């Protein structure tokens, strides 16, 4: 029992450092890393700035994750998320599981390989969100896992959304740590 408690505390310590903290300075002075120039169609892009990202509590909860829509089509995004057969998310959809990792849907044709999803890794703090890395197939999370490689394993009807049973490999973190990270979003008041 004691060993279990110690392991849980260790998990919390490690994960508070790797998933929420944002104190480390980026080597490039904080500029978002630009990747894969030329593989997307800029005419199909939806502008995304650091202000696009908000506290998870301001987004709509759907089962275990959160959604919003930066073009105002929240109903469309929620309908896709709620569809029992799966659906293609509408442009403007923002999807998050934890504060630092985000998927945003651009207009159709932006990038056919990722179904027009862009992946983001953020640094989040009380001051707000800083884009650490953004892009299509080359964005990795803090564990070194490639967002697209993992999310593309979702069965096609789920439009790269993994949840727990859509065919993706599991995240290397237990569910209670995910919930705890969601509740601890430092951007919320």
Which region, judged by CB under 6 A, interacts with ligand HEC, from 6-14, 21-29, 47-55, 91-99? Answer: 91-99
Number of residues that bind ligand HEC (CB under 6 A): 28
Check binding of 161 to ligand HEC (CB under 6 A): yes
Residue among 171, 180, 181, 182 that touches ligand HEC (CB under 6 A)? 171
Query: Is residue 36 part of the contact set for ligand HEC (CB under 6 A)?
Result: no
CB-nearer residue toward ligand HEC: 6 or 142: 142
Would you count residue 67 as binding ligand HEC (CB under 6 A)?
Answer: no
Cβ proximity to ligand HEC: between 6 and 170 the closer is: 170
**122 binds ligand HEC per the rule CB under 6 A:** no
15 part of the interface to ligand HEC, by CB under 6 A: no
- Could you tell me the two tokens for 160? 């790269």
List Cβ neighbours of 19 (8 Å cut-off, separation of 6 or more).
Answer: 98, 99, 100, 142, 173, 181
Are residues 139 and 145 in contact, defined by beta-carbon separation less than 8 angstroms?
Answer: no
Q: Which residues contact 165 (CB under 8 A, 6 or more apart)?
A: none
Q: How many residues does the chain have?
A: 189
CA dihedral 166, 116, 133, 131 (to 10 degrees): -100
Query: Which has the closest alpha carbon to 160: 31, 137, 138, 168?
Result: 168
The nearest distance, CB 99 to ligand HEC, in angstroms, is: 11
Place of tokens 């237990």: 174
**Residue 59 binds ligand HEC, judged by CB under 6 A:** no
Q: Among 103, 104, 124, 131, which residue sits at the site for ligand HEC (rule: CB under 6 A)?
A: 103
Give Cα separations from 134 to 69, 148, 170 (angstroms).
18, 12, 22
Which residues of this chain interact with ligand HEC, rule CB under 6 A? 64-65, 95-97, 101-103, 119-121, 139, 141, 145-147, 150-151, 161-164, 168-171, 175, 178
């Amino acid at each position: 029992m004691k060993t279990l408690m110690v392991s849980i505390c260790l998990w919390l310590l490690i994960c508070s450092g790797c998933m929420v903290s944002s104190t480390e300075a980026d080597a490039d002075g904080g500029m978002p890393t630009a990747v894969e120039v030329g593989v997307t169609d800029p005419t199909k892009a939806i502008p995304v700035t650091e202000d696009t990202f908000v506290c998870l509590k301001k987004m709509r909860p759907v089962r275990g994750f959160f959604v919003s829509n930066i073009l105002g089509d929240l109903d469309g995004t929620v309908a896709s998320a709620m569809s029992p057969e799966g659906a293609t998310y509408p442009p403007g959809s923002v999807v998050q599981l934890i504060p630092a990792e985000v998927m945003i849907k651009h207009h159709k044709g932006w990038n056919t390989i990722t179904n027009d999803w862009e992946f983001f890794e953020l640094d989040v703090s009380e001051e707000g969100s800083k884009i650490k890395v953004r892009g299509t197939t080359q964005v990795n999370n803090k564990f070194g896992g490639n967002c697209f490689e993992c999310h593309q394993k979702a069965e096609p009807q789920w439009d790269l959304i993994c949840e727990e049973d859509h065919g993706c490999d599991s995240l290397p973190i237990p569910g209670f740590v995910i919930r705890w990270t969601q509740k601890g979003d430092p951007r919320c008041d």
